[in-house]
Structures are given as C-alpha cells and as structure tokens.
Amino acid sequence: MSGKKSPNSIRGKKSRASGARFEAKVRAGLEEMGWVVNRWMNTIDYEKNKIVPAKRKYNPFKKVLVIGTGFPDFMCFKKTEKGFDVIGIEVKAKGYLDKVEKGMCIWLLENRIFSRILIAKKGKKRGQTEYIDFAEKYNRI
C-alpha cells in the first residue's frame, strides 16, 4: 500500500480531534461556572452490580494505552448550602446516547452516585454548548 491514508482514516482522525477540542471546551466552561471538574475513570460492572475502574484501551498505531474511557466523561461538584452537588457530564457533539450509555445513566442515578447527569452537546450557533438533563429528557428517576 502506498503512503496515502484512506479517507475513513482521515475522517476518523479529524472527528477524534474535534471531539477532544469540544470536551476541553466543555470542561473549561464548567470550571468558569464554578464547578470543580474531574475526569471520571470508572464504569459499571452489571454482573457485580458496582462501579469498577474503566479498562484502558490500547492504540496500536501510537503503541500506547489510552486513558479516559470511563462513563460519563466528567464528575463535577460544587459546594451548596446543604453540602455538595455532585453531577456527571457526558460530552456528545450531537447529544445522543446509545442503549448501553442510557442504561449506565439509569444505574448511576438509581444508585445515587450522581444527583444529575447532564449531556453536553454542541449548540445551534457556532461556539455554543447546550446541556440536556438526562432524567428530564428520558423521563427517568
């Protein structure tokens, strides 16, 4: 094969870079609003019915283990009069969750890991970010 990259490879590279930029922008915006933001490095093990550390993914092209495969992307907390408000943030450019992600959101809310889970998506105007409350959108909890 020649040195040319396939169109799908180029598209994937651009999509991942765009997603990483949007995720960084969402994080900066949350910090501006007074939230303390941390990457959530866990996922749910349904067989054990508990939270477990997310497995790292191997990138064969860069020969490294990729960190940050937990769900949701961020855990945020803010001090309130009653204590702390702890929320989960999942960053999706289009705002859609797949069936597995919806199931994880339901589990996290039912087990009171987070008080709310917000889905950050790109707004209608360039540079805007919209936040969708999972429980309100999907009539859960």
CB 118 within 8 A of CB 89: yes
pLDDT digits (tens, 9 = 90+) for 98-114: 998 999 999 999 999 99
pLDDT, position 64: 62
CB 116 within 8 A of CB 87: yes
Has residue 1 been placed in a domain?
A: no
Please state the domain count of the chain.
Answer: 1
Cα–Cα distance for residue pair 99/101, rounded to 1 Å: 6
CB 102 within 8 A of CB 109: no
Instruction: Report whether pLDDT(139) > 90.
Output: no
Has residue 103 been placed in a domain?
A: yes
User: Percentage of the chain surpassing pLDDT 70?
Assistant: 87
Residue with tokens 């589990």: 107
Instruction: Please give the residue range of the domain that contains residue 58.
Output: 7-137
Confidence of residue 47 (pLDDT cuts 50, 70, 90): confident
pLDDT, position 59: 65
Has residue 58 been placed in a domain?
A: yes
Count each helix (H run) and each strand (E run) in the chain, helices first.
Answer: 3, 9
Instruction: Report whether pLDDT(68) > 60.
Output: no
Has residue 2 been placed in a domain?
A: no
Cα–Cα distance for residue pair 141/130, rounded to 1 Å: 21
Going from the C-alpha of 23 to that of each of 17, 66, 81, the distances in angstroms are 10, 16, 29
Has residue 18 been placed in a domain?
A: yes
Has residue 22 been placed in a domain?
A: yes
pLDDT digits (tens, 9 = 90+) for 7-44: 888 888 888 888 889 999 999 999 999 999 999 888 88
CATH of the domain at 45: 3.40.1350.10
Confidence of residue 5 (pLDDT cuts 50, 70, 90): confident
